[in-house]
Amino acid sequence: MLKRIPVYILLGFLAVYFFNLTDQTGASAYWINVGYSTLYTFFMWEGNQAVVNRLRRKYPNYGQTSQRLMAEMAWCIIYTVLAVLLLSALLILIHAERPFTLRVLLSDFNVALKPSLVGTLVVVSINEAAYFLKQWHKTILEAEQLKRENIASQFETLKSQVNPHFLFNSLNTLITIIPEDPQLAVTFVQKLSNVYRYVLQNKDRELVTLAEEMKVAEAYLFLLKTRFGENLRVNTDIPEDQLGKFIAPLTLQMLLENAIKHNVVSTEKPLHIHLYVEKDEVLVVKNNLQRKSSVPDSTQTGLANISQRYRLLCRQAVEVIVTASNFMVVLPLLTVERGER
């Protein structure tokens, strides 16, 4: 605030000349006018800036620009009118040379209102234009960063699926079931194909519906359950009315793969995975915790990647909860308004 005082004084001088507020009766009257203009400038600037800051917190997004601008103009005009009225009354009381009457008050009010409104609208417009450009630039940067995060996610997913362990286990499972159940072997290959097709088809998308993600998750779970049998037990509890909400693509596959990778899955210690919606707001992926003594080729980037994508998409946190017996990841379920995508 102190750094802006020279600006207020300069604007006070300019307002005296621009709005023809000069007084020919003497130097003292001239300086009084400059002082009044500076005082008005101070209260107009600081007060309207407080209004603008509050509205920016209420409407922070780039897509809310028109809504924020309309609210700023309305509230800044209201503030300016009230501030001019109160300052006019205050200055009449301080200088008791004139009687405090409604006529005198309205006269001073009318003189001060025009320059105050003009200054307010100009400053708010310039300020908002600068803020708009800043938000626009920030949105572009975040979009690029999100694109990079999605590419990284796709790379991690593909890498986990085409690594020697994944292919070796899948082929071993397939070789085992071909002589025993040829039809199951055909289904296994189809599910494997579905998983890869989903990764390729959604490489450029930021969001997918929960229904789409669940469909590929079920295909991936089919591969895992064919391999592990009853040692892997999965329970899903997702209401149908939640399937139209959105999540980041490949999220469920990464979390399921993460659970298998980091936990023991055996007859003595079956792994239980539970997918469910809580409070119609979040999707929870939960598994009992039975960590492996060593995890091969663990990059520790899967959860960090998911968290970063959600931060960029909606500025909501992905919550990871670890207890003595369970590991849970809580994903926000997103709604997309028409035209927002």
**How many angstroms from the chain centroid is the CA of residue 294?**
36
- pLDDT value of position 25: 47
Res. 82: pLDDT tops 50: yes
Q: How many residues does the chain have?
A: 341
Domains of the chain by range and CATH? 2-140 (no CATH), 163-332 (3.30.565)
- pLDDT value of position 14: 58
Q: Round the average pLDDT of the chain to a whole number and report it.
A: 78
- pLDDT value of position 108: 76
Res. 208: pLDDT tops 70: yes
Residue 313 · residue 334 · CB < 8 Å: yes
The CA radius of gyration of the chain, in Å to the nearest whole number, is: 32
In this prediction, residue 232 has a pLDDT band, given cuts at 50, 70 and 90, of very high
Res. 323: pLDDT tops 90: yes
- pLDDT value of position 287: 95
Angle at CA 306, nearest 5°, toward 305 and 311? 100
Helices 164-180/182-201 angle, 10° precision: 150
- Which are the contacts of 147, defined by CB distance < 8 A and separation ≥ 6? none
Return the higher-pLDDT residue of 122 and 307: 307
Quote the CA–CA distance of 170 and 157 in Å, as a whole number: 16
Return the higher-pLDDT residue of 141 and 338: 141
- pLDDT value of position 45: 73
- pLDDT value of position 233: 95
Q: CA nearest 273: which of 288, 283, 258, 261? A: 288
Q: Residue with structure tokens 């590991």?
A: 327
Res. 58: pLDDT tops 60: yes
Q: CA nearest 291: which of 274, 269, 320? A: 269
Strand partners, 263: 291
Res. 210: pLDDT tops 70: yes
- pLDDT value of position 178: 87
Return the higher-pLDDT residue of 236 and 147: 236
Return the higher-pLDDT residue of 199 and 300: 199
In this prediction, residue 66 has a pLDDT band, given cuts at 50, 70 and 90, of confident
What does the pLDDT average to over 5-27? 54
- Which are the contacts of 215, defined by CB distance < 8 A and separation ≥ 6? 198
What does the pLDDT average to over 117-124? 77
